[in-house]
Structure 1
Amino acid sequence: MDMISDARRVAQHEVERAAANAAGGEYLTFRLGAEEYGIDILRVQEIRSYETPTRIANAPSFIKGVVNLRGVIVPIVDLRLKLACEKADCNDFTVVIVLNIRGRVVGAVVDSVSDVLELAPEAVKPAPEMNSVVDTSFITGIGSVGDRMLILMDIEALMSSADMGLIDAH
């Protein structure tokens, strides 16, 4: 019995180590309410100040509308609404992170952008498992930098989820 539990513990450790190694890298960090998130810097095209988008009829509440970005019509997703933050007020710090996801340009509204951090693989822990009511499929891990905790997000998985309707699943 002990050999089986030891084997499970070793296997779990290997899975966690592989996940952590895959999750190391450079992240753009931003705030949504009191939480700080990180996304792969390679997905970020630019950061812009918030401008009121043109509303699209019958779009979900988290899709604020579209903006014209140098001739490209870009859908704007308010991540604060999508991730059920308590407040989604716009102020001088509110920005749009322009993302390139599978060749499609999408804007994500966030409360503020913090910085770009390089996380060593050992600074990334696996995301905690939650019950099926909580969708954590887009959370790749939790990063620790000093006393800061970052929720690391697979922005491609979030933006290409079926309820977004923005990007075809491949």
Structure 2
Amino acid sequence: MIDRDRGLDALNALVASSQTGFGAFVAVYLTSQAWTQADIGLALSVGTIAAMVSQLPAGALVDAMRSKRLAIAIGGIAVALSALLFAASSAWASVMAAKVLHGFASCMIGPAIAAVSLELAGRRGLGLRLGRNARFASLGSAAAAVILGGIGTYVSGQAV
């Protein structure tokens, strides 16, 4: 059985790797779908604004939930749904909905992981736990970038 620290390490790597595809790779995907630079910029801006506006309500929602693990699961499912929206359609409304959903979900996942980290490590060990979270998030992002870059290079840009 996996211990709780290693489980949280794996979760941080997985969350970061799933989030990696929503940055530059979205721009590459939308370019391959004949979106203009202005439209791509608008889509990325909508996602950024949605994330900024969602920080307080998403954090309050996580605080109100008894189960922080459930909050992480809901956020992860919402991120997966936003990825499915991208895959299903490159229509303007679909992309904008995916970016807004992703922005809100991301704002739920971060505070929920921090709450679980506090629960596991306690106040005294929280600094080390947050550092460990950052380490595994960086490893997850790097792994995803390498994998997605390889897929884009050797399969197709649309496969990313």
Instruction: Answer yes or no: same fold by TM over 0.5.
Output: no
Structure in which a larger fraction of residues adopt helix: 2
- Structure number with greater CO (CA < 8 Å, separation at least 6) is 2
TM-score by length of 1: 0.26
Structure in which a larger fraction of residues adopt strand: 1
Which protein has the larger Cα radius of gyration, Structure 1 or Structure 2?
1
